[in-house]
Amino acid sequence: MSCIRAYRRILEKYLNVESISLFWKGRVALYAILKALGIGKGNEVILPAFTCVVVPNALIYLGAKPVYVDVNPQTFNMDVEKIEEKITPKTKVILAQNTFGLSSDLDKIREVADKHGLWVVEDCAHGLGGTYKGCKNGTVADAAFFSTQWNKPFSTGLGGIAVAKDTEVAQRLKELERRAVKPSKREELMLKALLSIREKVVSSDTYWLALKTYRFLSQKNIIVGSSQGYELERPVMPEDFLKGFTQTQAKKGLEYFQKVNGKYRIDLIIRHRKRVANHYKKMLTEFGLEPPYEPDYAEHTYLRFPLLVKDRKKFFHLAEKEKVELGDWFLSPIHPVQKNFELWGYSYGENPIAEFASGHIVNLPTHEKVGDREMERIYSFLKKNKDEIIGCRVPI
């Protein structure tokens, strides 16, 4: 059996869904879902004002308009109380994100969606492995996509997975998967090389240098990066955007579904992330700070552990000096865009909570390489700089 076929089967089993479609990246999977739902010119899509720019890009490529909703100060997901005021006769979809591994409150979103006849699509780029009221993320809404990019719950370097409940929509997704452009040999080989470099070279000691080098090379369009420079400059669909999945990605993906002591490796990774997050929660409590809010409707898988700091630039500088790994999701309401927001239909000043969060947030790592030594170093770093920390909740 080809790796792609085996990977597809194991994902279908893991998610307990009839069929999945595979794409080059998560953003391509989102584009395919919206296309399969018939979204196009003149339609509006509601999404959180705390996301990655490639999300509004995907819907703008189809001619739709992004309509941003501010986030909840505790969950960093869309504030469900603020959705309805943004709905117009043109609205077709609500995009519910699993920010940092925490599901949005989908029952409440469903209620609003049903009242207005809208589709609900889960953005599970961060959320594979987590649950909403006991159901796996990605299996509750009408459709969902996952990302298996470098920093996601598990990584195939780049990669996207799309699922849909409606059989006709799922069929259209399959058709789009068949029509997708095959990545070139060069792209596949480069991805293979990057996967191997990442495994062998990147550690907390080399993190900052590796991150800067990777982002520089991908933004200059020199390597197959997760975001090429032009995607961050303007929302114009790149040629061959609808790109398919490769054997290299599938082969890597299958590694996460090998069993260790009767459990899939991906499930052990998720267990590890939650264990690391528990350590961080204890640290914060020791510093007299409240840990992140965990609503009882969801299981938070902590792809990253969010922390708000007073002066992020200074905090990053201190972390880099001490070789402490910190993430920067999200640097702006449409990460990492810093100017020309109007190109993405974003009006700066409209979403104070998301704007505060994106001005002050850092993320602590929870991935497999965070062991006792790293946690000890992070503990010492945070303790030394605890006066720089605001907490886990936007103070507005």
Contact positions toward ligand PLP, by CB under 6 A?
A: 25-27, 51-52, 54-55, 97, 123, 125-126, 147, 149, 160, 226
373-377 contacts, C-beta under 8 A, 24 or more apart: 374/204, 374/325, 375/276, 375/279, 377/204, 377/322, 377/323, 377/324
Least distance between ligand PLP and beta carbon 165 (Å) = 20
Positive or negative torsion for Cα 98, 99, 105, 106: negative
Q: β-strands 389-391, 135-136: how paired?
A: unpaired
Nearest partner of 98 among 88, 109, 90, 87, judged by Cα: 109
Q: Which is nearer to ligand PLP, 329 or 381 (CB)?
A: 329
Q: Which is nearer to ligand PLP, 147 or 219 (CB)?
A: 147
Least distance between ligand PLP and beta carbon 56 (Å) = 10
Q: Kindly state the tokens that stand for 338.
A: 């810093």
Residue 209: its H or E element: helix 207-219
Least distance between ligand PLP and beta carbon 289 (Å) = 26
The total number of residues shown for the chain amounts to: 396
Residue 382: its H or E element: helix 372-384
Least distance between ligand PLP and beta carbon 239 (Å) = 17
Render the burial of 205-241: b for 16+ CB within 10 Å, e for the rest. eebbeebeebeeebbeeebbbbbbeebbeebeeeeeb
Q: Which is nearer to ligand PLP, 161 or 284 (CB)?
A: 161
Q: β-strands 44-48, 65-69: how paired?
A: parallel
Q: Which is nearer to ligand PLP, 25 or 92 (CB)?
A: 25
Least distance between ligand PLP and beta carbon 373 (Å) = 28
Least distance between ligand PLP and beta carbon 253 (Å) = 13
CA distance 99 to 330: 10
Q: Which is nearer to ligand PLP, 98 or 283 (CB)?
A: 98
Q: Which is nearer to ligand PLP, 126 or 281 (CB)?
A: 126
CB 207 within 8 A of CB 325: yes
Least distance between ligand PLP and beta carbon 115 (Å) = 26
Residue with CB nearest ligand PLP? 26
Q: Which is nearer to ligand PLP, 45 or 125 (CB)?
A: 125
Q: Which is nearer to ligand PLP, 27 or 92 (CB)?
A: 27
Query: Taking the CB of residue 184, how many other CB atoms lie within 10 A of it?
Result: 13
Least distance between ligand PLP and beta carbon 26 (Å) = 3
State whether residue 117 is helix, strand or coil: coil
